[in-house]
Structure 1
Amino acid sequence: MPGVGKTTLVDHVYNTVKVDFDAAAWVTVSKSCRLDDLLKKIASQFGIAVGVANTEMGSLAESIHKYLHGKKYILVLDDVWVAPLWLEIRNVFPTSNCMGRFVITSRKHEVSLLATQESTIHLEPLQAYHSWVLFCKEAFWNHADKQCPLELQELARKVIAKCQGLPIAIACIGRLLSCKPPTSTEWENVHRDLDLQLAEDVIPDVHMILKVSLEDLPYDLKNCFLHCALFPEDHKLKRRTIVRQWIAAGFIKEKEDNRTLEEVAEGYLTELVNRSLLQVVERNHTGRLKHCRMHDVIRLLVLNKAKEECFGKVYNGSATGAFSVEGVRRISVQGENLEQLSRSGATHLRALHVFGRYIDIDFLKPILTASNLLSTLDLKGTRIRMLPNEVFDLFNLRYLGLRHTEIESLPEAVVRLQNLEVLDAFGTKLTYLPNNVVKLQKLRHLYAWTSGISVGGVKVPNGMQHLAGLRALQGVNARVSA
């Protein structure tokens, strides 16, 4: 079942034992994963460079086989949907003069048949005792004894019963109640909301719990959460990227306590984690959140909510079926074929996030021309070398994401983007910034490190000191002006 704890269990074991192996890799497969993309992910996670020379499947397979030969290695394939996938890639891995261990998680029984019976674990929902322990841990996480008061125990058992032993549901409802005063009245309100969802759902499941948690979010926090669902399935959400995009989108408002917008946004992210709506993937050495992830069960629900409210939609580039952009304000492109989207006549877009690596720039141009309200354009990871001129007509643009693209230069026309707050050109092929960048007075974040340069940085023009609003400046050469 989704949300029963498969990935959580394997993640714990993996992080415990991977130090005993010469090579370790964790790859999330997902339902729509293609074979060539899977091999690229596996190679990347093992630390094998994926370049022009080995992008073909045969070359990738050979590189992986050669790298693992003679090593003790472990590979986790998380969320495998079809058994033939393993049958197609198993010969990639060497079996002689090495020791390989493979762990597969799946919701599908036929996938589990790939392993011998003694090597298969079928996870069941939690029994009553463990459900109670988990609930108390989440609902009373800020209490010293983490115990449920006697006057709330009957209500607590009613709430837990609706979770059907699913850890993800118990954790979410527990964290929701931890945000409420511990009174019978407040808990009765939550229980009543659960009953209403149960009456509406044809098949009561974890979604019932998650809907209540979603509807409980304050307006601004809800927008931030909906935004997180626009990233691809199992995508690692980087704290700094999320914070910058929330601010550029206008989701973050100044507070009376003199906190910066960045501090308010980071507080929102922490609250989503505390509510168990986002999962922590990694923290830095000080314990500060670095990467998080949205569980795929939660993501599907949130995407449906985003679609209902015209907040945003995912476009996968499929040639079959019509893609409607009517009323949609944000689009996440998770395919490489922009042709259908280019003809859609999108005119109300506020944000365009492109995750396809190879896109036709000519199909991008009409989208930009029609979207004069666009405030966020994120092209991170795409293989484009030059921005189309249409970008510089986007007067409302606040966020321009060019990270890890192959952009080689920015024209002086960048000065027309007078509302730009974030210019992220980290890991591009830029060697200098245009003179007019110093006239972008609203810039808050500027990243411009050049891929392949180990010493020095991107050259910047004179007058950078006039960018008084900058809160982050990274990757520039502080000694040399263009």
Structure 2
Amino acid sequence: MDEVGAAVVPAMDAVEKLFGEHTELQLRNSALGGGWNNHQYDQEWHSALVGLEDAEKELVARLLDDNEKSLRVISLVSEEPLGKTALARKVYNRLDIRQHFERRAWVHVPKDFSYKDVTYRGLLIIILQQIELYPSWALPRAPEFMTLHFESMSEEEMSAMLYQILMKVRFLIVLDDVCTVDVWFMLAYPFANVLNGSRIILTTRDSNVASHDYLWSSRLNLMRLSDEGSWALFLKKVGIPQNSSDINNFREDILRICHGLSPAIMLLGRVLSTMESSEWSRVIDLVVAAHFGKGQLPLSNFVVLSYQMLPYVLKPCFLYLAVFPKAYEIPIRRLLHLWLAHGFVQTSPEASVTEDVAKKYLEELVCRNMIEIVRWKPDGTPKTCHMPCYLYDVFLPKAKDKGFLVHHGKSECTSADSLEFLLPFVSFNTRKRDTIEPLQPFVSFNTRKSDSIKPVFTKIINTGGFLMPKVLDLEGVFKPVLSEKLGIMVNLRYLNLRWTLLNSIPAFIGDLPRLEILDLTRTKITILPCSIWEANNLRLLYMTRVRVLKGLVIGFVEPRIYGLDRCTNLRKLDLTCFHSESALKTAQCISRLDNLHTLRLTSSGDPLNLMLSPMKDHQSLSNLYLFGGIEDHRIGNLPRNLNILTLSASRLTEDPMRVLGKLPQLRVLNLFNHSYLGQEMTCHADQNFPELRVLKLWILGKLELLTVENGAMPQLRELEIRVCEKLRSSEGLDQLPALKELILRNMPQDFVEDARRRLGNEKLLIK
């Protein structure tokens, strides 16, 4: 436990009691209402570093110093949570850094790390997973698959492979939250003689870790924010203009109690942003009154205040993050499913779609700085998240006290006697095939052989080791044995078998009376038992390539034969049409699925044009992937509320950009693989893609000229052009005001030079 956790836990009850006595301040926060968040998922807003601009410039300068060819280990040091990891991640993802370093890897180092133990092997696998050993077409990029690839290799073989690869390229490795000198020295020392400008960034709270006087190490100390930086950060988090006289009246008190500590400023700012300024004085007084010791106001006061002021519906959702290992990147998809399965998400008659409400919960916790987004999707929505590390050690005991089961196993289990089952919640093991980052839920065991699972699983059931859990999450476990005893789990709502590589599932899965979510993605399961269609509560069914419905193939028959017309609550749909007779009826059926928001529609076999007109007035469809021919005059029949549109093999002959530019909410547009066969493409100022963030043009073999009129695509941040072999020039790229990245892959040299002349190297990434 870190300094923050040690300071908070002993006084937690006393502080909570004090805050709890003033419940009148919480009444307005008792539940979520409309208008509670002004920022939503603005990636730049959440990722901006306020007060660390100078440190960012210094770090980037050291990383890109071409005069220093030797390996350099740059240590970001501060005993307090001052944004070391956030700074490292911001720099790690910068375009100029990605361009400069041929290979990059990010590793969170666990506190209980031990050399020559299973954890060191895990670190090697994590690094090898990220440095792209093979071309993207050679192996699946999923970590679970890559882990299987390394399973047969010894620790020495992996270490040698890593050394041989990294000695030939310029690399950047981030070692996050290093606690001892041995850890970073052991990982960095083998590369000490690299002379190609490679770098290692190390973040640590222990000044002793960075105090050793090695010739190839340097140190960058982070300090508390100045008054100017503190106030700028506060205004950003509270979301109120600086010239507001009401706010300026609190400036002195806020600067005094936060004392330049950025987490305190962020937490307090977001709490105050939820209430009227007339109540601010009382909140500030409470924070001060909760400080029972002497000296500087501790971060613990702000931590407890933020938790106490959470709407009651968000508290269990927040505490549930402590079930995952510290700093583990939680897929948003997985977290929301777990919240739903445990019944944390409350809906009203006006908001009956629980998935949408769950997303609102997440959004609010992010804006309150209680959840941190780690990675983002191209459309600006979050992909992975975690609880900030300075909160994790504080709320891990709290999660246990509230009844959340947390079991992070450290060694291989051979019997149920070594398992810790406290309450009917998921049990996670942080080891996965001897790696440290991924986790294995429900039971703690080694997953190299599926037969090691069966006796443990069966014994737990036979001895009453669990009390009918709602969740069984086995994501990434290699071919677990699903005992028939699983059929007695009458409360099971969520069964996650993603990346288990199972070949089949037992027929009794469909008989589970409360099963709502079944995830079979990245398995080898192609046939479902008939009983699955009788699962009355099943809402989400994921299969590789089914409230998700994936892999459905419609031939000559009507889609009603498959019961598609009865799936009125379907949220995601992936289907393939093999015949023109069924294409129209399929589109008509889709138009009646009012809750559908994601559709992947593929035509196959004989040339077949997709039918769009029945879907034109679909209101909820926001993510659409179309693979197959589209007649030019039908492109205007696309649904109006699309956020993401992907066209592939559409074979349009007329420039579609004038029509597509009218879609008011479109944020991501992907034109792939002969979707357009014309020679010229123009993005018009009068039909200007008002919300477009990402545009990707891939394999448009006849495209010769790309023109962007002044005023078109005002929000475009990323433009990627790949394998457009005849494209020689572009007009207007330098007029895109928000453009941050132009990514070129396998493009003619003439076009590359033209882009460099127009934009310079700062925004250009060539691969």
* Counterpart contact for 1:177–1:187, Cα < 8 Å: yes
* Counterpart contact for 1:29–1:77, Cα < 8 Å: yes
Q: Determine which of 115, 124, 127 is the counterpart of 1:42.
A: 127
- 1:394 maps onto 2:493 in alignment: no
Distance 1:200 1:365, change over 3 A: farther
Superposition pairs of residues 99-118 of structure 1, within 5 angstroms: 99-114=197-212, 116=215
Q: Distance in 2 between matches of 1:199 and 1:467?
A: 61
Q: Distance in 1 between matches of 2:276 and 2:381?
A: 27
Distance 1:387 1:474, change over 3 A: farther
Q: CA deviation at 1:357?
A: 5.7
Distance 1:65 1:229, change over 3 A: same
Q: Distance in 2 between matches of 1:112 and 1:353?
A: 39
* Counterpart contact for 1:404–1:426, Cα < 8 Å: yes
Q: Determine which of 82, 102, 114 is the counterpart of 1:4.
A: 82
SS at match of 1:384: coil
Q: Distance in 1 between matches of 2:420 and 2:257?
A: 36
Q: Distance in 1 between matches of 2:123 and 2:88?
A: 19
Q: Distance in 1 between matches of 2:573 and 2:528?
A: 13
Distance 1:397 1:42, change over 3 A: same
Q: CA deviation at 1:209?
A: 0.8
Higher mean C-alpha displacement, 159-168 vs 89-98:
89-98
Q: Name the aligned partner's letter for residue 41 of structure 1.
A: I
Q: Name the aligned partner's letter for residue 230 of structure 1.
A: V
Q: CA deviation at 1:79?
A: 0.9
SS at match of 1:291: strand
Paired position in structure 1 for 2:714: none
* Counterpart contact for 2:426–2:469, Cα < 8 Å: no
Q: CA deviation at 1:356?
A: 6.2
Distance 1:86 1:282, change over 3 A: closer
Q: Name the aligned partner's letter for residue 106 of structure 1.
A: T
Q: Name the aligned partner's letter for residue 42 of structure 1.
A: I
Q: Distance in 2 between matches of 1:313 and 1:22?
A: 39
Q: Distance in 1 between matches of 2:444 and 2:197?
A: 36
- 1:15 maps onto 2:108 in alignment: no
Q: Determine which of 302, 311, 324 is the counterpart of 1:231.
A: 324
The structure with the greater share of residues assigned to helix is 1
Q: CA deviation at 1:419?
A: 0.9
Q: Deviations over 1:217-270 (max 9, x none)?
A: 112111111112211111222222222221111111222433511111101111
Q: Distance in 2 between matches of 1:324 and 1:417?
A: 25
Q: CA deviation at 1:277?
A: 1.1
- 1:128 maps onto 2:221 in alignment: no
Q: CA deviation at 1:458?
A: 8.6
Q: Determine which of 105, 108, 119 is the counterpart of 1:28.
A: 108
Paired position in structure 2 for 1:150: 245
Distance 1:319 1:258, change over 3 A: closer
Q: Distance in 2 between matches of 1:445 and 1:357?
A: 29
Paired position in structure 1 for 2:300: 207
* Counterpart contact for 2:323–2:404, Cα < 8 Å: no
Superposition pairs of residues 450-465 of structure 1, within 5 angstroms: 463=562, 465=564
Distance 1:416 1:65, change over 3 A: same
Q: Distance in 2 between matches of 1:414 and 1:325?
A: 24
Distance 1:26 1:201, change over 3 A: farther
* Counterpart contact for 1:332–1:355, Cα < 8 Å: yes
- 1:59 maps onto 2:161 in alignment: no
* Counterpart contact for 1:312–1:330, Cα < 8 Å: yes
Superposition pairs of residues 185-200 of structure 1, within 5 angstroms: 186-199=279-292
Q: Distance in 2 between matches of 1:395 and 1:89?
A: 48
SS at match of 2:400: helix
* Counterpart contact for 1:244–1:422, Cα < 8 Å: yes
Q: Name the aligned partner's letter for residue 60 of structure 1.
A: M
Q: Name the Cα RMSD after superposition.
A: 3.4
Q: Determine which of 374, 386, 409 is the counterpart of 2:504.
A: 409
* Counterpart contact for 1:22–1:71, Cα < 8 Å: yes
SS at match of 2:350: coil
Q: Distance in 2 between matches of 1:288 and 1:239?
A: 10
* Counterpart contact for 2:511–2:532, Cα < 8 Å: no
Q: Distance in 2 between matches of 1:56 and 1:162?
A: 53
State the identity as a percent: 26
Paired position in structure 1 for 2:185: 87
Q: Name the aligned partner's letter for residue 105 of structure 2.
A: A
Extract structure 1 runs of 4+ deviating beyond 6 A.
Answer: 200-203, 318-324, 474-479
Paired position in structure 2 for 1:430: 525
SS at match of 1:299: helix
Paired position in structure 2 for 1:269: 362
- 1:281 maps onto 2:359 in alignment: no
Distance 1:12 1:52, change over 3 A: closer
SS at match of 2:221: coil
Q: Distance in 2 between matches of 1:316 and 1:202?
A: 39
Q: Name the aligned partner's letter for residue 89 of structure 2.
A: D
Q: Deviations over 1:59-114 (max 9, x none)?
A: 21122123223211111111111111123233554845744211111111122135
Distance 1:259 1:457, change over 3 A: closer
Distance 1:394 1:427, change over 3 A: same
Higher mean C-alpha displacement, 244-253 vs 255-264:
255-264
Distance 1:476 1:367, change over 3 A: farther
Q: Name the aligned partner's letter for residue 129 of structure 1.
A: E
Distance 1:323 1:375, change over 3 A: closer
Q: CA deviation at 1:302?
A: 2.1
Superposition pairs of residues 375-390 of structure 1, within 5 angstroms: 375-390=470-485
Q: Distance in 2 between matches of 1:87 and 1:240?
A: 37
Distance 1:118 1:335, change over 3 A: closer
Q: Name the aligned partner's letter for residue 128 of structure 1.
A: D
Q: Distance in 1 between matches of 2:501 and 2:295?
A: 49
Distance 1:304 1:316, change over 3 A: same
Q: Distance in 2 between matches of 1:200 and 1:268?
A: 35
* Counterpart contact for 1:335–1:356, Cα < 8 Å: no
* Counterpart contact for 1:61–1:92, Cα < 8 Å: no
With structure 2 as the length reference, what TM-score do the two structures score?
0.54
* Counterpart contact for 1:310–1:329, Cα < 8 Å: no
Q: Determine which of 329, 354, 361 is the counterpart of 2:454.
A: 361
Q: CA deviation at 1:384?
A: 3.3
- 1:294 maps onto 2:387 in alignment: yes
* Counterpart contact for 2:327–2:388, Cα < 8 Å: yes
Q: Deviations over 1:313-367 (max 9, x none)?
A: 33435699998755x4434322569xxxxxxxxxxxxx96458662633223343
Q: Distance in 2 between matches of 1:381 and 1:210?
A: 34
SS at match of 2:326: coil
Distance 1:315 1:286, change over 3 A: closer
Q: Distance in 1 between matches of 2:326 and 2:294?
A: 24
Unaligned runs of 5+ in 1: 338-350, 451-455
Q: Distance in 2 between matches of 1:97 and 1:467?
A: 64
Q: Distance in 2 between matches of 1:94 and 1:412?
A: 57
Q: Determine which of 468, 492, 507 is the counterpart of 1:373.
A: 468
Distance 1:399 1:47, change over 3 A: same
Aligned residues: 455
Q: CA deviation at 1:214?
A: 0.7
Q: Which one has the largest radius of gyration?
A: 2
Q: CA deviation at 1:206?
A: 1.9
Distance 1:332 1:467, change over 3 A: farther
SS at match of 1:219: coil
* Counterpart contact for 1:431–1:459, Cα < 8 Å: no
